[in-house]
Structure 1
Amino acid sequence: MNRYNTIKQNQQRLRKRYKQLIEQAYNFRQTDSEISDISDFQAIKILNKLNRLKYLQRGEPNLPLQ
């Protein structure tokens, strides 16, 4: 497996987890603000990882960024 495919798989996995955490934070916003804040924080950490992967992916010529 080449570097591009590895990055792509990691991005997909992290995007899925990011969406789950954001949805969880939204659902807990009114009932339990502590869980909501924790989910938001974890989602921010995952978003930072996604941005780093996007930075690594930019060096691949003629490949679409997502």
Structure 2
Amino acid sequence: MDRLLLIAHKKNMLNKRYKELVEEAYNFRQTDSALSDISEYRAIKLLDKINKLKYLSRDTAKPA
């Protein structure tokens, strides 16, 4: 597979997990704030990885 396709696939998987963690953090907010904070922290760490992958897969062509 092409490098950009691998990056896109990994980014999609991380986005899916990120959304799950954000939803989990929201659901725990009223019942268990500690679990909510843990899920939110994990989501933030995933978002950092997603942003790094976005940087790697950016279009290198210069606009005209």
Fold-level match, TM-score > 0.5?
Answer: yes
Measured in 1, the distance between the counterparts of 2:60 and 2:14 equals 20
Runs (4 or more) in structure 1 with deviation over 4 Å come to none
Could you tell me the TM-score, scaled by structure 2's length? 0.91
CA shift digits 1:16-64 (9 cap, x unpaired): 0000000000000010000000000000000000000000001454xxx
Alignment map for 1:1-66 (pairs within 5 Å): 1-61=1-61
TM-score (norm 1): 0.88
Aligned residues: 61
Structure 1, unmatched stretches of 5+, are 62-66
**What is the root-mean-square deviation in Å for CA atoms of aligned residues?**
1.0
The gaps in structure 2 that reach 5 residues or longer are: none
| Greater RCO (CA < 8 Å, at least 6 residues apart) | 2
Identity of aligned residues (%): 56
Q: Is the CA contact (8 Å cut-off) linking 1:11 and 1:53 kept in structure 2?
A: yes
